[in-house]
Amino acid sequence: MIGPSTKWMLDENILRCPACVSGPGRDPTKADPGQLQVVKEKWLVCVDCGRKYPVEDDIPQMLIEIGDKYRATPTEELS
C-alpha cells in the first residue's frame, strides 16, 4: 500500500521509472521521462513505457526486471 513516504517521493517528483530514465531504450529527447501514476493505491505505472512496479509495505519495488514482469498485465487486472 502506498503510504506517506512513497506519496512524498511522488509529490516531490523524485520517483521515476528507472528504465525510462537510464535504461538502454531511453529517449534522450524526452524532457521528463518516466513519470509514474498510482494505480489501485499499490502500483506505480510508468506513463511512457507501461512498466508496473508494486509497492509493498510502502516500499516501491523499482527494479527494471520487476517492472518488465508486469508490463503486459492490463492495469485493471492488477491486484
Each residue of 45-78: pLDDT tens digit?
999 999 999 999 999 999 999 999 999 999 999 9
Measure the CA–CA gap between 70 and 73, rounded to whole angstroms: 5
CATH number of 4-21+35-77: 2.20.25
Going by pLDDT thresholds of 50, 70 and 90, the confidence category of residue 28 is confident
List Cβ neighbours of 2 (8 Å cut-off, separation of 6 or more).
10, 38, 41, 42, 55, 58
